[in-house]
Structure 1
Amino acid sequence: MSLGKWKEREREQRRNDIINAARKLFVDRDFDEVSMDEIAENIGLGKSTLYLYFKNKEALYFAIELRGIQIWVEMVKEEVKKGKTGLEKLILYISATREFSKKYPNCLRMLYSPTNNKKQFDMNKLNSSEEFQEVRGLFKELMFIGIDSIQTGKNDGEIRSDVDPVEATVLLSVIINGMVNMGSWSKEILESKGINEQKFTNDTGDLFLHMLSENIK
């Protein structure tokens, strides 16, 4: 292995080590509760070294999220292509998202939670972050898969003709957001009625599909 390739691999390994260390801190805490000093201390590096790999904390945060959303997009794509009709594709889209949320619950929490309160971010740093722009691009790609599925379902006659595909897909995103950030009091009410998280997730997805069905006006 050439010296150049060895250095490149070493740099990539250190970058991964930083991401993994930062993820452990961000999982249970808000964005503004974790500092670059703490991340550097946890990995045994000087803070200045972190900035050789990530220009700011926003870039590091979304580098973590980038890995997760790449998996999400691939899971959705793999499932959706199995559908023959628009409604089938939409059902598979929701199913893949459910599966992703089960396997990677922290990714969804981190993706939705901080963007609800942009005061936590330095917006200039956020907008200049390549990692954030990549995450946003992939999220838009996910949204357009949903939009295209619903539009195809309308064309097939299985989804109501008065449904706006953009509005419906944004509504689905809002539903996911609400479920990820559900308050403890809501969880307590569900649990008091014997409704666990999995049942609530499944029933919510079914209700969303029911609203869009051509058989329901």
Structure 2
Amino acid sequence: MKVTVFGATGAIGQLLVHNLLASGHTVRAYVRNPSKVPAQWRDQVQLVVGEITDADAIDNAVADTDIVVSALGPSMDRKATGLPLVEGTTLIIDAMKRHRVPRFIGLGTPSVLDRRDTKTLQARLVGLMGRTLLPRAYRELLGMSEVAMNSGLDWTIVRFIRPTDGPPKEIAHKGFFGTDKIGWSTTRADIAAFTAAQVDSDTYINAAPAISN
């Protein structure tokens, strides 16, 4: 399957590309800075270079692909302004509709609500911390997910609370808040593996599963 990955050179994005290649998929990576591209990608991954607000470059990246996966995450710099990833996600979704690409997979936060969730202190606390400590990043995370969830496409948003470094530990918990037991942290390796697995699965179409170790 042909998969276009946005945010491909990020901490989770690089692991995601590795998982997709290992599963036999053809990967096209959208990157802003080619110098961050791992050397081993050069013979395996097609690159499209552009800013996340470059409509033409995004259109080229989405054309002739089967599925789009976004590993985009907001800047945590308190001096950052605007919501460029919301604009970029809107451009991605628009390009998908033009090229009739039906499937979008992205990353999100428990502040993004799924209709299968019930209210929990855990999810409320995560939302409170985001709104209080990093309000711009919080708005951007929610805005990106809302664009996808309201798109009419077959979407999946993979939610997690605290990404950590290190080797994979296996996903111990997955599902929805209030229904399933969800922990507080997940390795980036496990986030990437679970997200890549959604390319070949329809289990969570139009759903936002939460995961943890």
Normalised to the residue count of structure 2, the TM-score between the two structures is: 0.28
Work out which of the two has the higher radius of gyration on C-alpha atoms and give 1 or 2: 1
Q: Which has the higher strand share?
A: 2
Q: Which has the higher helix share?
A: 1
Normalised to the residue count of structure 1, the TM-score between the two structures is: 0.28
